[in-house]
A and B are shown apart, each in its own frame.
Chain A
Amino acid sequence: MGATEVVLAVMLGGPQHGYEIKRVHDEWFPSGKPLAYGQVYATLSRLEKDECVEVVETKVDAGPERTVYALTDRGRQRVEHWLSEPLVDGAVSVGELVRKTVAAVRTSSDPRPMLARQRTAFLRQMHDLQQATAADPLSVLARDHVLAHLDADLRWLDRALERVADVNLEAAR
């Protein structure tokens, strides 16, 4: 996910300061990794340099000084383009899970315990996500996406377990 574009998308709701952007982001993705304050301000700084956001106000309340940012026309165009374009990943992505599993299958005399441990780890993650209560009906959208990915990974692991059970490991090495 383009973290920069998500910050821009949050700002479609109107001018906001960094803390508010982080709060809305974390509300949108309750099952995801919280956005770090440092990342918010680094992103805003970069977006300001790219003329996608601009400072519209500096608030000084009881607390620390807060800079309020707004989208520029350029920033609005950028986020609207991002939102309108489908994500295309033509190349096969070989992630950490695939690398680790293939390495285990190729190097271990019996990779099934490793595959079983990985399967359990994903199922536990799924269990925890399913137990979490939803704040509102739309907040489960991001959770559903994580669950669907976990489900896909689990199916792939099941297929790997089946292939490992069927294959002659000695011949494969």
Chain B
Amino acid sequence: MSEPTEQTAMPGESVAVLSMRDVQFAYPRTAALRGVNLDVAAGEVVAVTGRSGSGKSTLLHVAAGLLRPASGTVHVLGQEVGALPDAAASSLRRKHVGLVLQHGLLVPELSVLANVTLPLVLEGTQQRASAQALAHDWLTRLEVADLATAFPGELSGGQSQRVAVARALVAGPALVLADEPTGSLDSVGGERLLDLLVSACRAGNRALVVVTHDNRVAAVADREVRLLDGTVEYEAVLT
């Protein structure tokens, strides 16, 4: 492994919340990412698009630290994730990265409130009561507070996604990574959820990376990053 690096900023220059450099990743039979570079600034919304198999979801999983790149570096808030010990990398992820995966992926044995409280409990920095109050506040913002005592198995796809968004945002992450966040919703429900997600990220000056094949989702972004066969085909500013 190469020497760990820490990014520093010159005066007046901000460190990117997410910075990926020449990232490569391969599954046993397929090269999924072939030298991807990506910088995302605080408050910026970036849509990652591309046809199926272009590497979109792999890019998100590598950015989240769920997959380790074969080569290249991933910095979150200036810290190289791959160079950190596992415990430190997990802590960095819990504190600073909110993740919304396809279909929500909630813990089925926990209530909705417990699912959303989980990132705060794992971090151990808050009393249970204040953690639950904060979780309840996010459920209210996502318009699912009435489901606090329900269990994931009782939720519709759309409700699960809203709870997953609340869970991703509850710890106040600097970086939010979302993989097809509106995939299981109808167009009106999807539009509403996307609006809530983007508004919360913009209000909190959070960086948001959304992987999507839905043009309407991509169009809310400030920038589109188009992947083709594991490389960035082009980037386009949409604002």
Residues of A within 8 A of B (CB): 112-113, 116, 119-120, 123-124, 126-127, 130, 147, 150-151, 154-155, 158, 162, 165
Tell me if B233 and A116 are in contact (CB < 8 A): yes
Tell me if B216 and A165 are in contact (CB < 8 A): no
Tell me if B238 and A120 are in contact (CB < 8 A): yes
Counting chain A CB atoms within 10 Å of each CB, the highest count among B51, B215, B233, B238 belongs to B215
Tell me if A127 and B219 are in contact (CB < 8 A): yes
Q: How many interface residues does chain B have, given as a range? A: 10 to 19
Which residue of the partner chain A has the closest CB to B214? A151
B239 at interface, CB cutoff 8 A:
yes
Some 20 contacts from A to B, beta carbons below 8 A apart, are A113-B234, A116-B226, A116-B236, A119-B236, A120-B236, A123-B215, A123-B238, A124-B238, A126-B215, A126-B219, A127-B220, A127-B221, A127-B238, A130-B216, A130-B220, A150-B215, A151-B215, A154-B215, A155-B215, A158-B51
Which residue of the partner chain B has the closest CB to A154? B215
Tell me if B219 and A123 are in contact (CB < 8 A): yes
The number of residue pairs between A and B whose CB atoms lie closer than 8 Å in the complex comes to 38
B121 at interface, CB cutoff 8 A:
no
- 5 nearest CB pairs, A to B: A126-B219, A120-B236, A154-B215, A127-B219, A127-B238
B196 at interface, CB cutoff 8 A:
no
B218 at interface, CB cutoff 8 A:
yes
Measured CA separation A124–B221 after assembly (Å): 9
Measured CA separation A165–B224 after assembly (Å): 19
Give the residue of B233, B234, B239 whose beta carbon is less than 8 angstroms from that of A127.
Answer: B239
Tell me if B218 and A123 are in contact (CB < 8 A): yes
In the complex, chain B residues whose CB is within 8 Å of the CB of A119 = 236
Counting chain A CB atoms within 10 Å of each CB, the highest count among B216, B224, B234, B238 belongs to B216
Counting chain A CB atoms within 10 Å of each CB, the highest count among B219, B224, B233, B238 belongs to B219
Tell me if A126 and B236 are in contact (CB < 8 A): no
Measured CA separation A123–B239 after assembly (Å): 10
Measured CA separation A57–B238 after assembly (Å): 50
